Structure 1
């Protein structure tokens, strides 16, 4: 999105406007009021006496609330504006906007206040792909509200607009004709309510008085106390005290953004899981929701529980090429919009992800290790077993014992079904792209980890030692073959993939760090991997690049070919820590956290992979999602990694290795199966010395 956009969100619903608070969306412009993948308001423009307003400033009050300060016309040093306008907007089921006009003059002022309103009811895929709709529109202006309606068969969406002050509604908006006394103010509350189901809505053009009454009842709904909800959310998280102001600011921003990104599926009974990111991905994603839940476990374990239940509820049950569905497979993406409803897109749900299924088992085990919630492990035993079965029965497309992927829906399916899912992210050293199927290296690491964790759950919770032994044997065999087949001997690192012929796709990438996290790396190879990750080819000082300098497709602002992804770095740091490289993990964490200071405490989806010696600040990636869930979760995982927090039975081990930048650090009231525990540490790791080598141990 362009600069100057103001984003307010509340889980399933968000508003993107310009700095004046106006919405004037073009077909491909992601501005408007959105909920459940539909744009419910595409035009919302304020004028006074026919003139647009000028923005003075915008207050980002909370993630769900913003305030816009405006004046009519253009002032100068000689002529002061005598009227000021304040718009305060809060997002709920739609949004509530308090519009206030203040007359600063000594005489009364007569004003015509106009709000033009409209909705294209665009599906989010239509906005992304600039497609056209096929349904019918209707507008109904009543005495007390304006109803905007869209219908295509049984698919109905509507928006109702009302005001607390008298006004004239017409099909294009609402008009106030007012007089404000000297030094007085005028205020109205504008309520924009959305409706998705619409069973009681009449056909376009028919009388809809009964519907208007239903919608007016919605309009008068109580507005949730979001401020109290946020305060409770922050109060339940561990409290951070440290000497480094940047970390304190980033930690709070992460918690607030995570609260903002909470998404409540229609089946979740009000419980939430992490949506992937604004503006395109405010929905349930298998991979993203799992990774974010893993990052956030020490800080809010409830997200993981909801993620597991909701993904398990929608687990694949059949062979469906349109959706890339298999029995046991965990979904990639769930959508609720028109194109999904009419099967013009396969996202109901779409299963084109090769990593979400093993990661489901990984999250289930890690959740139990933190919380001791064996009831959920028993509840999801069937789903976990089905996921483990999918790895062997459906994911091994080449019969070589490795997870690989190839889309079956050539029209709308994803080519790359790993986390680096852009079209050119998997390449040989010379830049050529392999054919399909592709078996990327991190998928094998996730499969290994899932089998090892599944074995633990089978033995300790499901009371199935036979399954446990079988999974452990499979994992050991996978590890042995993987370290033989993926190891690039002349470079001493792991290839990013094997192609359809079993040949190594031999570029050097950050995926090696995910292998450390999974535990599939032989101990004898771990040091070489760590040295590559911390070398100047990958480590910039701000973080680790997705693709190494010197590879043919390297580009410091290439989406997966040289940028730095905070999410990626957080799991790399966790992997370095797993194999004993504490100082290196601290250096990766420090670089990313230092970068966060330049993004107002909010790490974006990705940023430029330029070396730190070249730039005084990290370079923005132009189309990065912000906030994005697994970038929001990255600082939380960095904290866990630097403090060395690791569950051991009913105890929490604390083994800090903190960069000197942090100084003193306290993380208080860490909740888990142990109750609540405090962790302390001091910054003693000089990360400046880690500029391309791994010290001997």
Structure 2
């Protein structure tokens, strides 16, 4: 098992006891900007065996408790078992990892020993750590002994010097093999503390070392204060309350600022970087909780919007990035992630998110600021996104080191025909056409509002034509359900999957088609009881342990949930919400993972996927979507009003929400179910818009 703590651009990924065993195969370490600065961290007490008691990691801090085995001298017990209380705290603060030990002697005898800490820093690029890439790398320098500890350094192939400064208080002896030894002398009833700070630096960027006194409690207090500034939720479901609070705590952990404000990175441990699709969807999920995260995401994506045709990076003018990496391999051009643009859905999602910001805030100035970026994105959809004039937005990899499948299901076997053969690119994914249609409809109104009538008319015409083609070409009459995709020969990729559920948002499906899709999504072959599977268990390619062909992804379910609510399928939405709440209750800390296996509820509990990222931003954001769907809030800045159509899952009979961000202010709501009907009371409304029951 592993655990991770994170603050800003730094994270510490360790085993369950906060250790980094030598030559571990899991990629454990202290990371900054896609580089592992600490690759080994182990400790012991000289001559004293250690018994682990308890470990917990949360946010930017972790706490561990241990005690001792008996110490014998010449066959006689000189220090009794379980007489030494050991508390170890680790936390990240301002880019510095702090490790603090407290030793308390509860025995009647004194204890003389040494704390021995063994460490190493390999400065390995993230892609090398994960085994994805070899390449030209730099040279590690000799370890330097300092007055207070050790200094590790490395000169990279990118001509950047990276270092890790380790300081111990009190100081002890150090060796060039990465050992520190600090004497401990504990009389009966006496306590002693030892603090170590690990300061990573890259180039001229050196972290400011904050004196560690009190910072552990400062970090914990800051996390609590941060959570209190966002919408507060209470209900008669402790599982939902904990799920929502966990979503907030995880989102705080995953926010990163690369110059345009805090926005969600994808997930830990491997995707703590700007990630087009994931960041955009997580921001979309969160817009009712904090629209500033969405604005920062849009700024970040617009700053890196594609400018030229570059096959190495799959870049094209107007395209929105897939992923940015900052390590040595990226800096030397050995991988294309600088940024890499191999994603088909980030561009329409970028357009959708701007529309969502306007819907929830009414901030027309923000829309105006990014109108030119929107035009570039639409030009990419029209030209580069549809290179053969099929009328659909498609993908085909150009980069030799790029990604083959470029939708959210990006594993090699995720786009598969009914006969188990893989579809060939260029591929038009079903959900991407839904995103494009929705973006066209939203921006036709936005451009009209901005006085850009030519653009408004153009997008209306394009959306009408797309809807007509889509309903004809994607619909599978024998399944009464849309195909997953169209392949290079315009053949339907006929596996029944969760992807068409995203098309319930925005209206690309006809009314009868939408009803058929909603029914099928909640049928037993797709709905496991915990959530909607990525693929029907009737499909030949179904595998409940597959990454994309049978597993359940909370974020996928959250977008389906938005569509069910928007399309008026409240009963189906309530069933799905209850399944997701019940799922969260089965995972530690009510944290929804990136994904879990597709086994049905008859198994008794959800089966974890072995290598799911946790926390994951769009899994954390799922709780915010549940809140949005329960309240049924639908802001309408065009008419200056808020429609309210609440619904609650079966296990909730009341919900109290305070401080939801809408319009130019906030709204407080109380929902109560009585005789099968959910009634809403608006307790406070400073949004500037009146509330109307829908």
| Residues 593, 613 of structure 2: 8 Å contact kept | yes
- Give the structure 2 partner of residue 118 of structure 1: 120
| Residues 342, 397 of structure 2: 8 Å contact kept | yes
Q: Distance in 2 between matches of 1:472 and 1:536?
A: 38
Moved more, 103-112 or 478-487: 103-112
Q: CA deviation at 1:53?
A: 3.1
Q: Distance in 2 between matches of 1:631 and 1:570?
A: 9
Structure 2, unaligned stretches of length 5 or more? Answer: 678-694
Count of aligned pairs: 662
1:402 matched to 2:398? The reply is no
Q: CA deviation at 1:374?
A: 2.0
- Give the structure 1 partner of residue 174 of structure 2: 169
| Residues 440, 497 of structure 1: 8 Å contact kept | yes
Q: TM-score, normalised by structure 1?
A: 0.91
Q: CA deviation at 1:193?
A: 0.8
Residue in structure 1 matching 2:364, options 374, 393, 400: 374
Structure 1, unaligned stretches of length 5 or more? Answer: 200-213, 688-697
- Give the structure 2 partner of residue 38 of structure 1: 35
- Give the structure 1 partner of residue 192 of structure 2: 186
1:99 matched to 2:101? The reply is yes
| Residues 10, 91 of structure 1: 8 Å contact kept | yes
- Give the structure 1 partner of residue 668 of structure 2: 678
- Give the structure 2 partner of residue 210 of structure 1: none
1:498-529 CA-to-partner distances (Å, cap 9, x unmatched) read 01011111111101110112321112311111
The 5 A counterparts of 1:347-386 are 347-386=337-376
| Residues 38, 121 of structure 1: 8 Å contact kept | yes
- Give the structure 1 partner of residue 596 of structure 2: 607
Q: Distance in 2 between matches of 1:245 and 1:514?
A: 29
1:158 matched to 2:167? The reply is no
| Residues 406, 437 of structure 1: 8 Å contact kept | yes
Task: State the SS of the aligned residue for 1:571.
Answer: helix
- Give the structure 2 partner of residue 148 of structure 1: 152
- Give the structure 2 partner of residue 598 of structure 1: 586
- Give the structure 2 partner of residue 63 of structure 1: 59
1:134 matched to 2:130? The reply is no
| Residues 255, 262 of structure 2: 8 Å contact kept | yes
- Give the structure 1 partner of residue 228 of structure 2: 235
The 5 A counterparts of 1:173-572 are 173-198=179-204, 218=209, 220=211, 225-265=218-258, 267-268=259-260, 271-410=261-400, 412-460=401-449, 462-572=450-560
Q: CA deviation at 1:16?
A: 1.9
Q: Distance in 2 between matches of 1:142 and 1:65?
A: 27
| Residues 6, 21 of structure 1: 8 Å contact kept | yes
| Residues 28, 130 of structure 1: 8 Å contact kept | no
Q: Distance in 2 between matches of 1:507 and 1:558?
A: 15
1:6 matched to 2:3? The reply is yes
- Give the structure 2 partner of residue 203 of structure 1: none
Q: CA deviation at 1:110?
A: 1.4
- Give the structure 2 partner of residue 211 of structure 1: none
| Residues 160, 219 of structure 1: 8 Å contact kept | no
Q: CA deviation at 1:683?
A: 4.6
- Give the structure 2 partner of residue 691 of structure 1: none
Residue in structure 2 matching 1:657, options 647, 661, 666: 647
Distance change (3 Å), C-alpha of 1:136 and 1:495: same
Q: CA deviation at 1:54?
A: 3.0
Distance change (3 Å), C-alpha of 1:12 and 1:50: farther
Q: Distance in 1 between matches of 2:352 and 2:594?
A: 23
Task: State the SS of the aligned residue for 1:114.
Answer: strand
| Residues 543, 591 of structure 1: 8 Å contact kept | yes
Q: TM-score, normalised by structure 2?
A: 0.92
Task: State the SS of the aligned residue for 2:496.
Answer: coil
Residue in structure 1 matching 2:625, options 603, 614, 637: 637
Q: Runs in 1 of length 4+ with deviation above 6 angstroms?
A: 74-78, 684-687
